[in-house]
Structure 1
Amino acid sequence: MAFLLKRICRAALAALSLLAGSPVLAGQPPKYLVADIPGSLRENAHAVVRFSDETLLVKSAGRTIETVRRAVTIFDEAGAHHAQELVYYDQLNTVSYLRGSAYAADGRLLRTLKASEIGDISLSDGFSLANDGRGRVADLRQPVYPYTVEFEYEVNSTNTLFYSTWRPQAREQLAVEQATFRVLTPAELPLRYLERGLPAGTAVARTSVSAVLQSYEWQVRNLAAVEAEPDGPPVGETTPVVFTAPTQFEVQGHVGTLTSWQALGLWNYQLNVGRDELPVAVQEKIRALVQGETDERARIRKVYEWLQANTRYISVQLGIGGWQTFPASSVAASGYGDCKALTNYCQALLKTAGITGYCALVRANEEDVRTEFPSQQFNHVVLCVPLQKSAKRDTVWLECTSQTNPFGYMSSFTGNRHALLITPQGGRVVRTPQYLAADNRRERLADVYLDAQGSATATVRTRRSGLEQDGYAGMANSQNLADQKKALAEHLPLANFSISKLSYAQDRRSLVPTLTENLGLTLPGWASVSGKRAFLTPNLLSRWSALPAAVGERRTAIWLDNPFSYSDTVRIHVPAGFKPESLPTPVQLSTTFGTYSSQVQALPDGTLLYVRRLLMPRTRFPQTDYPAYQDFRRRISSADKAQVVLVKTDA
């Protein structure tokens, strides 16, 4: 979809390298003296926003003008990306101008961008069939720190589905001296906005500019730089932000209102209604495919797996094509489509099979949408299929862009979040499947064969399910064993090892998929041998580290990724002539955050049995819990590093 280009813009900017080289320009009054920056804003900052002024002028329901002027002082290489600017445009957005200047620490003008130095690049993502996104790019990086850059640009837009989001401090280690954001809009098009994380005492200033024009303005000053905290939310989730949205909008002649989720869903439905007609030949194939199958879920599975086998994903990001789907007949003819087109196609296939499904907008691979603020926050489409014959009124969710996704599985990409169901009556917010600790499991069984010199070999079987297997599923689908070994090696917490064997087996038939990994390891010097004794850590692959000590008072809440359940069993086959001299004390922890246990036993045959369990059923905790969470992690880390001491017998 069109708004996925934001991610592409960031990647293109990172690759930009138009090096500065103009001589110093004399005769200009000094600006942005570094000496004027308060010491409180320099602390822990790679850069300081000296001045930022952003204005969104709403000309009509179908046109806006955004103007931005920003000056940033950059202290070191880690802040140098602030000296680059990329302004996105396409057939719905045009760049009126992009200007820039660079200043020395003493405020002297070093250089001004020439028109010939402003690049114009394609923002094609490499897989889009149609992508009209482009960027105007400029680079004012300087060789001597500190320095200040100033950029100004203006964008005219005929895509009023999106209004500006103001993030004056979107990055960590960025301080803000002064930043202002205003929206000027006709009185008949009142602004909708949501404030979050604004400093105490900050409030919108709402005034009448004229008889027909209203002004909404926010301003912040002297924001000290902040850092992302361990196991905390991204900085952009905790620093000041103002989200804005229209009450009415128009995109290429398609008019809508955005006062509720129902209204946004209705616009999306009307934009795509009637685009689900299938060729007769395809209808006949689907009817034959499900003929005689009476189980509703089984019928859906057959259609979905047929879709996976007969289509592929290609993105389309071209004007209204960012929101309006290809007709189902087009996908039937070509075999490809973007997320909208493939979801619409699957919906049409199911309709032929006598099953009703609904497209659902979702924000994939990012933080969940703000359900309290109806607005266009989505970047993906999936299919929601309520089961009509199920006694539990169950629902099947389908990811229609993947040829490998298990039936009904949303993964971390779209699971555990809200979606906007698109129905003939409009939009309705629903939840995608939630994957809890009982779903996200990792169960590991290892046999380690130790020799008298301290080296070992190991066979390890790891069974992962739910979100725990997501990061390994792509690896498992690779046909290149060397690539699989290389990718896995990056995840193994071992200092000296080689992989002697690796294979994967997937179970995609259950609602929560599982992946079994069979691994062989060679471990030179796994145990440390000194005289008659050998020292080893029985926790082979599941060691947790302690958290760094907090600097000052914790600022943010604790945000853990996903709930999970881990179990590890390690059987250590001790070499002849050795016996355990010292075993770690068993550990049992039960806390608000979860439970942990570990113990080592000596079995009658001389084998050592190490068993570890860790259950973390929740993911969000208040910042006041951080000291207790630190202690929980510290105690786990200590237990995970506990050693066994073997001693050589005289016999």
Structure 2
Amino acid sequence: MSYRLNFPRVAACLGALLTAGLPGQPVLAGPPASYPVADIAAALRENAHAVVRRADETLVVKSAGRTVETVRRAVTIFDEAGADYARKLVYYDQLNTISYLRGTAYAADGHVLRTLKASEIKDISLSDGFSLANDGRGRVADLRQPVYPYTVEFEYEISSTNTLFYSTWKPQPDEQLAVEHATFRVLMPAGLALRYQERALPAGGAAVKTPTAEAGQTYEWQVHNLAAVEAEPDGPPVGETTPAVYTAPTQFEVQGHLGTLTSWQTLGLWNYQLNTGRDELPPAVQTKVQALVQGETDERARIRKVYEWLQANTRYISVQLGIGGWQTFPASSVAANGYGDCKALTNYCQALLKTAGVTAFPALVRANEEDIRTEFPSQQFNHVVLCVPLSKAAKADTVWLECTSQTNPFGYMSSFTGNRHALLVTPQGGRLVRTPQYLAADNRRERLADVYMDAQGSATASIRTRLSGLEQDAYAGLAGSQNLADQKKAVAEHLPLASFSISKLSYQHNQQQPVPVLTENLGLTLPGWASVSGKRAFLTPNLLSRWGALPATVGERRTPIWLDNAFSYADTVRIHVPAGFKPESLPAQVQLTTAFGTYSSQVQALPDGTLLYVRRLLMPRTRFAREEYPAYQEFRRRISQADKAQVVLVKTDA
């Protein structure tokens, strides 16, 4: 992804980038005690790997083109699971500069263990490995200690000339993190208004506004004594439900490019004006495109030919330098070099389609993350795709193109950018639209298995699984691998079987349909698949699709139920019973119809002695209030019970 993000985007890379060892022996002399662990209330210690003792964050908006952010944060760490809070990565580039980075570690009693030296702060490149040019760098500090508990305090300041982004305040971004005290301030100058959105703030946490002597405005938010929380089954991520304040400018500037951000329309207009006039193609490329679509009257077919030509003749390379995070390379540059980032390849494809007589528009999207907050216009995007309205279709329709992929099927957005909102960039400005929705009818898994059991309970299985839509996404890369050993290893890690070996594995991919289809052919050897005891054999006919029950709840459910992945599963298992055995007991048929989904399973004894197990599960893309959780829990419990039901075979005397 090459669309320029705000600097916090790189924080997740910290674990892979830090290699420093643990610090040396404690130093007992120092300033008076600070942050003694004994002062932490018992309620904040409960279920917490760490406690934020103090967090002060201040954003000073100097002008439409400059901000200064200062952060001071002290965290007490109780165990190794919280040790990442003792490490700090501060991002910078040519638009963001670090004024200082300081740090101190304290013992449990509050005495200083060590103070971070300037020589101990590493300066590293944050190159992502696929960018041609990337000015992202980081200052890295590591204050991990060998004995728990201890406290670390970091202070830093960042000056920015990229005011498209203002701060997002999330005082409790992670699970099992408690907060003793946190404050967020924004200081606005005269003539500039702050836009903000509050979420899940406790009572008394709303903004306090205070006029400043310079006719500006100060905004302040505080939270206190937030107990640690955990992510709940089938619930949203903790960072989506804990207190947060999102801020955004009304006016901004990036390297001399002024903009207004009061609506999605104005944000889209800035992007359009920034990139307009950069779609000119060399005459030779125009000639190739015109020849490519000559005689093709079907609009969708013309688009497909251009897109597949793009895939065959370009490759994705990210470029992130200053304004280049938002402004595209000219189409002529991609034509000459054969590569570009998401903006450049999208712009190039748009230019190719224009030559073919087709109008298309870039669309900004947040890829591979939660959908944007549609009610709060702001820069929330990290990727660009191409939207192609079909002007000649019998009914309104749209083709969506992922221009960075050389393998993506035509018109398929996948889980990367599907099922979310995007900002369509037009000459009139921005407009929110929906990317393709992939629902249960699209995301299917259909499995047919033949299991051949012997009298000792061992078996072999031949399994054909057809996956479509989002269900095939995780397998698409695996299917393209030429290494059979790697394929077998990846599949084996996800098989819910106690003992097995893979005797056969192959894939076929059909990418010509509206949603791609992948077929997996799998052969298994299953020693001891059935449990044989005396004259009886016990087996579970549900071979590969067993669901577990949800864990028991402790106290009241905190968050709503998010069932965001719609799918339809169909399993058919034919069990070939060994000679001399017949069914003594078959599970009862189960049929569940609820708002959460539908489920059915049954086992039949066929005239030829074969057992036929059929299971169906359909889950829609829905969300439910937390009060519905007991009913959802019961639905899952009954599925789990049915999936574990056993068949009893008995050996006949004959």
- TM-score, normalised relative to structure 1: 0.99
Show the counterpart of 2:464.
Answer: 461
Answer whether contact 2:563 2:620 (CA < 8 A) is retained. no
Question: Which of residues 95, 99, 103 is equivalent to 1:96?
Answer: 99
Aligned counterparts, 1:442-461, within 5 A:
442-461=445-464
**Deviation of the 1:144 alpha carbon:** 0.9
Is residue 151 of structure 2 the alignment partner of residue 112 of structure 1? no
Question: Which of residues 299, 303, 307 is equivalent to 1:300?
Answer: 303
Distance, in Å, in 2 between the alignment partners of 1:492 and 1:534 is 23
Aligned AA (2:354): K
Show the counterpart of 1:156.
Answer: 159
Q: Secondary structure at the match of 2:631?
A: helix
What is the alpha-carbon root mean square deviation over aligned residues? 1.0
**1:75-107 CA deviation, whole Å, 9 max, x = no partner?**
111111111111000000000000000111111
Q: Secondary structure at the match of 1:642?
A: coil
**1:327-362 CA deviation, whole Å, 9 max, x = no partner?**
111111111111101100000000000000000000
**Deviation of the 1:9 alpha carbon:** 3.4
Is residue 37 of structure 2 the alignment partner of residue 37 of structure 1? no
**1:150-204 CA deviation, whole Å, 9 max, x = no partner?**
1000000000000000000001011101000000011211110000010123210
Answer whether contact 2:481 2:487 (CA < 8 A) is retained. yes
Question: Which of residues 584, 587, 607 is equivalent to 1:584?
Answer: 587
**Deviation of the 1:14 alpha carbon:** 4.5
Aligned counterparts, 1:544-555, within 5 A:
544-555=547-558
Show the counterpart of 2:171.
Answer: 168
Show the counterpart of 2:19.
Answer: 17
Gaps of 5+ in 2: none
Show the counterpart of 1:398.
Answer: 401
Answer whether contact 1:14 1:81 (CA < 8 A) is retained. no
Is residue 127 of structure 2 the alignment partner of residue 124 of structure 1? yes
Aligned counterparts, 1:362-377, within 5 A:
362-377=365-380
Show the counterpart of 1:615.
Answer: 618
Question: Which of residues 305, 320, 325 is equivalent to 1:317?
Answer: 320
Q: Secondary structure at the match of 2:75?
A: strand
Structure 1 pair 32–14 and aligned structure 2 pair: CA distance change class (3 A): farther
**Deviation of the 1:546 alpha carbon:** 0.4
**Deviation of the 1:8 alpha carbon:** 3.8
Show the counterpart of 2:78.
Answer: 75
Q: Secondary structure at the match of 2:5?
A: helix
- Percent of aligned pairs sharing the same letter: 83
**1:109-135 CA deviation, whole Å, 9 max, x = no partner?**
111000001111110111111101000
Distance, in Å, in 2 between the alignment partners of 1:556 and 1:625 is 11
Is residue 345 of structure 2 the alignment partner of residue 342 of structure 1? yes
**1:215-268 CA deviation, whole Å, 9 max, x = no partner?**
011000010000001111000000000000001000001000000101000000
Structure 1 pair 4–491 and aligned structure 2 pair: CA distance change class (3 A): farther
**Deviation of the 1:619 alpha carbon:** 2.8
**Deviation of the 1:6 alpha carbon:** 4.3
Q: Secondary structure at the match of 1:483?
A: helix
Answer whether contact 2:69 2:159 (CA < 8 A) is retained. yes
**Deviation of the 1:583 alpha carbon:** 0.6
Is residue 443 of structure 2 the alignment partner of residue 419 of structure 1? no
Distance, in Å, in 2 between the alignment partners of 1:346 and 1:416 is 23
Is residue 238 of structure 2 the alignment partner of residue 235 of structure 1? yes
Answer whether contact 2:444 2:567 (CA < 8 A) is retained. yes
Question: Which of residues 556, 566, 570 is equivalent to 1:567?
Answer: 570
**Deviation of the 1:391 alpha carbon:** 1.8
**Deviation of the 1:25 alpha carbon:** 4.2
Answer whether contact 1:583 1:643 (CA < 8 A) is retained. yes
Aligned AA (2:4): A
Aligned AA (2:478): M
Structure 1 pair 105–23 and aligned structure 2 pair: CA distance change class (3 A): closer
Answer whether contact 1:5 1:123 (CA < 8 A) is retained. no
Aligned AA (1:56): L
Distance, in Å, in 2 between the alignment partners of 1:118 and 1:360 is 40
**Deviation of the 1:317 alpha carbon:** 1.1
**Deviation of the 1:13 alpha carbon:** 3.9
Answer whether contact 2:61 2:67 (CA < 8 A) is retained. yes
**Deviation of the 1:212 alpha carbon:** 2.8
Show the counterpart of 1:479.
Answer: 482
**Deviation of the 1:561 alpha carbon:** 3.4
Answer whether contact 1:265 1:420 (CA < 8 A) is retained. yes
Answer whether contact 1:387 1:396 (CA < 8 A) is retained. yes
Answer whether contact 1:571 1:610 (CA < 8 A) is retained. yes
**Deviation of the 1:4 alpha carbon:** 7.5
Aligned counterparts, 1:110-259, within 5 A:
110-259=113-262
Structure 1 pair 332–6 and aligned structure 2 pair: CA distance change class (3 A): farther
Distance, in Å, in 2 between the alignment partners of 1:211 and 1:585 is 77
Is residue 493 of structure 2 the alignment partner of residue 493 of structure 1? no
Distance, in Å, in 1 between the alignment partners of 2:525 and 2:651 is 23
Distance, in Å, in 1 between the alignment partners of 2:543 and 2:389 is 44
Answer whether contact 1:83 1:139 (CA < 8 A) is retained. yes
Q: Secondary structure at the match of 2:202?
A: coil
Distance, in Å, in 2 between the alignment partners of 1:580 and 1:4 is 63
Aligned AA (1:451): D
